[in-house]
Amino acid sequence: MAQPRSNSGNSNRGRDNKDRGRRGRRPKVCPFCTGEMEVMEYRNAQMLRRFISDTAKILPRRRTGVCAKHQRRLATTIKRARMLAIIPITAQLVRK
């Protein structure tokens, strides 16, 4: 005879994604792989600012949705732009 199940543990185990709400989480797609954005150039400050936080830190992959290959290239590009003073290095320069 089967034992009755207890309610301890993960209660969402057998449910469909319909129970999470009307809209599920949208999958993040790399804008560089899809062709939405052009190949990175350190001179394009407007594009690079999209991947920098308010405190001038490089945003992580999980937040921007960029793939690993392009995230590494993006970090190098941002660092080059910082060395040439195209984008700010510290938060003090951003908040002015």
Q: Which CATH number fits domain 35-94: 3.50.50.60, 3.90.1330.10, 3.40.50.720, 4.10.640.10?
A: 4.10.640.10
- 24 vs 21: CA distance, rounded Å: 7
Q: Taking residues 17-36, report their average pLDDT.
A: 76
Nearest CA to 87 out of 28, 59, 47, 29 is that of 47
For 32-78, the pLDDT digits (tens) are: 999 888 878 999 999 999 999 988 899 999 999 999 999 999 999 99
- Tokens 């709400």 found at: 21
pLDDT at 25 over 80: no
Q: Model pTM?
A: 0.68
